[in-house]
Amino acid sequence: MNSESRLAPTAPRTHLNILQQRLSQVANSWAIDDYRAFVTFYARMLPKLMSVERCTIYILDIESKKICSIFGTGLSERQIEAPMDGSIVGSVISSGRSHIDNYLELHDGFHLYVAEQTGFTCKNMLCCPIRSLSGKGVIGAVQLINKSGGSLFDDDDLRHLEEAAHYLSISIESIVLNQEILRIAGYLNSEVHRLGQTSVGGSLLIAESPAMREVLELVKVVSEAPIHVLIQGENGTGKELVARMIHEKSERCARSFVPVNCACIPETLIESEFFGHEKGAFSGADASRKGRFEEADGGTLFLDEIAEMPLQNQPKFLRAIQEGEGSRLGSNRIVSYDARLISATNKDLAAEVKKGAFREDLFFRLFSVEIFIPPLRQRREDILPLAFHFLEETQKRFKRRVLGYSEEIIELFERYTWPGNVRQLLKEVERLVALTPDGSLIQAGNCSRELTAYFETISLESGSSGEMEGLVLDDQVRKIEISLIEKALKEAGGNKAKAARLLHISRQGLDKKLKRYNMRQRPRSTAPAADLEERAGC
């Protein structure tokens, strides 16, 4: 991960800002004050154009099969719910055929019930279906009532209304399309914002799991405060990447980020490395040199593997941190430091203090806030997003193009414990890309010895099991689908339209799966007009 987290030019961040601006422009250009403006226009204009007393527009709710009025002249926003059986509008929607009835007063029907509710008598009626232009069938109906002057509806009226219904369909589906574009633009905008919040110099910190999202929230908080930080976590979890993120989001981002691995510096050179030296201070000191504290002045000094610092060197560190000053080897001149410290270790530093391997006074001066990065095995939601991110980046660096991961690789990645954490995952992806021919799918046979041994172990366990249920594909698919549906419904608060979007399936498809698996549905209480808004993505 260290090589991936080197700071890059600011171009990626600039591109993110440009993309956010474009998405905002899309949202603004597609803004609609109220979908009722469209249907109201038709409902008010059609009576004048067609010489009728009233016009009502109905929409079919696909899920409940209910037919409700969206707008009707003279209804004063009253909602009329027409039955599918026993009403002309229901017959038109179910059959998809237009209908003319010039003698309504001569027979019973739903129109008599409406007359009682509204006080308006229907003498004759013309009703045409509103057809979906995207292959979803009939989505509603437009109805004209009472031809002016006692006239009767004829075929010319039918032809004109069917033409109007076509354009009304365009308007209604444009609303749906518009709201979908706004939803997607909003989603992309939030993802771009999240990407900006989780990227450091072009390198990305994947945080799909709740544990890593908590880490990011803590990073945001400590970045805004001028405090020293300790980052703890196993090797390969991305401690330096988190440290760089804290630096880049702080007020010190314009100054240097100076990383030092305390475990890699020989004990005899530690003082010179951190505090610098003057020319001639020791054999081989041919020129004066700044120490790391001076280099990080105004910026951030990252002390990786801080637990490996020898005890005899720790007192001078304590003074440098406590007093913000020190001196170079071979000089009595006091040099002031203004560096923020971010330390990292894979050890329990408090336990090291108890063992006497680390000074207690330095421990308390070293940091104010501690951030723990969980190992990859404890945040399995991040494994596949990381694997696909590494696959894309590795193909660019290697100038390769493979087809992706096979199903067995995906299962193996999700089940493996990854003792080497993110760094091991990156190494494995690089190996697989290097050994997989262009245009081929990555297979388990090219895995490292560690993963190959694990794959053989789980294969033997599966083969020796006497429970055949685990090998039946339909059973496994059922379990997975039920689990994902329950998770999506919970996240969507019981809203099936939103849950369907999370699952990337249609709302009708979700409804079929709920019935197939006999899963309880959350009762709906939304009004008919609200159902249309939900369908339109409002």
385 and 370 share one domain: no
CA distances from 465 to 251, 461, 468 (A): 58, 6, 7
Decide: 54 and 47 in contact? Cβ < 8 Å: yes
In the structure, what pLDDT confidence band is assigned to residue 499 with cuts at 50, 70 and 90?
A: confident
Please report, for the domain that includes residue 336, its CATH number. Answer: 3.40.50.300
Q: Tell me, letter by letter, the H, E, C secondary structure of 436-450.
A: CCCCCEECHHHCCHH
Residue 311, amino acid = L
Res. 534: pLDDT tops 60: no
369 inside domain: yes
For residues 175 and 243, membership in a common domain is answered with no
Is residue 454 domain-shared with residue 387, that is, in the same domain?
Answer: yes
Q: Given this model, what pLDDT does residue 508 score?
A: 78
Weakest-pLDDT range from 166-180, 182-196, 276-290, 406-420: 182-196
In the sheet that holds 257-261, the strands lie side by side as 257-261, 300-304, 340-345, 229-232, 369-372
Look at residues 515, 518, 516, 484 and name the one whose alpha carbon lies nearest to residue 500.
Answer: 484
Residues with Cβ within 8 Å of 164's Cβ and at least 6 positions away in sequence, in order, are 42, 46, 49, 128, 142
Q: Is residue 40 part of a domain?
A: yes
Report yes or no on 96 lying in a domain.
yes
Q: Give domain status of residue 194, yes or no.
A: no
Say yes or no: 306 and 246 in one domain. Answer: yes
Q: How far is it, in rounded angstroms, from Cα 128 to Cα 158?
A: 8
Q: Considering the chain, what is the average pLDDT of its residues?
A: 80
pTM of the model: 0.53
The DSSP code for 289 is B
pLDDT tens per residue, range 197-229: 555 554 567 778 888 889 988 998 999 888 999
What's the number of CA atoms in the CB half-sphere (13 Å) around residue 337?
Answer: 27
> pLDDT at position 56, please?
86
Asked whether the predicted pLDDT for residue 333 surpasses 60, the reply is yes
Q: Is the pLDDT of residue 105 over 90?
A: no
Q: Which has the minimum average pLDDT: 167-171, 322-326, 380-384, 447-451?
A: 167-171
CA torsion, ordered 217, 223, 226, 230, to nearest 10 deg? 70
Q: Are residues 230 and 307 in the same domain?
A: yes
Residue 134 has pLDDT above 60, yes or no: yes
Let me know whether 312 and 330 are in one domain: yes
Instruction: Looking at the structure, tell me whether residues 210 and 303 fall in a common domain.
Output: yes
In a domain, 29, yes or no: no
104: left (phi over 0), alpha (psi -120 to 50) or beta: alpha
Q: Are residues 143 and 212 in the same domain?
A: no
440 plus 346 within the same structural domain: no
Q: What is the pLDDT of residue 465?
A: 42
Residue 12 has pLDDT above 70, yes or no: no
Indicate the residue type of 229: V
Domain for residue 250, yes or no?
yes
Q: pLDDT tens digits for 259-280? A: 999 999 988 888 899 999 888 8
pLDDT tens digits, one per residue of 42-60 = 778 888 889 998 888 888 8
Q: Specify the CATH number for the domain of residue 506.
A: 1.10.10.60
Which of 416, 437, 464 is the endpoint of a domain? 464
Q: Crossing angle, helix 155-197 and helix 36-50, to 10 degrees?
A: 170
Name the amino acid, one letter, at 283.
Answer: S
Q: Tell me the residue range of the domain where 494 lies.
A: 472-535
CATH classification at residue 432: 1.10.8.60
**427-449 exposure pattern, b = at least 16 Cβ within 10 A, e = fewer:** ebbbebbeebeeeeebebebbee
Percent pLDDT > 90 in the chain is 34
pLDDT (0 to 100) of residue 490: 84
CATH number, domain at 145? 3.30.450.40
User: Is the distance from CB of 262 to CB of 304 less than 8 angstroms?
Assistant: yes
Whether 238 is in a domain gets the answer yes
Q: Are 275 and 327 in contact (CB under 8 A)?
A: yes
Number of domains in the chain: 4
Percent with pLDDT over 70 in the chain? 78
Structure tokens at 214: 């908590």
Q: Catalogue the E-assigned strands of 432-503.
A: 441-442
Indicate the pLDDT class of residue 35, thresholds 50, 70 and 90. low
| 3-state SS assignment for residue 100 | strand
Final residue before a domain boundary, out of 436, 464, 492: 464
Task: Specify if 185 maps to a domain.
Answer: no
110 & 171 share domain: yes
- Extended strands (E) in 194-346: 199-200, 203-204, 229-232, 257-261, 300-304, 325-326, 335-336, 340-345
Whether residue 356 is found in the same domain as residue 224: yes
354 lies in the same domain as 449: no
Question: Which of 417, 445, 464 marks a domain boundary?
Answer: 464
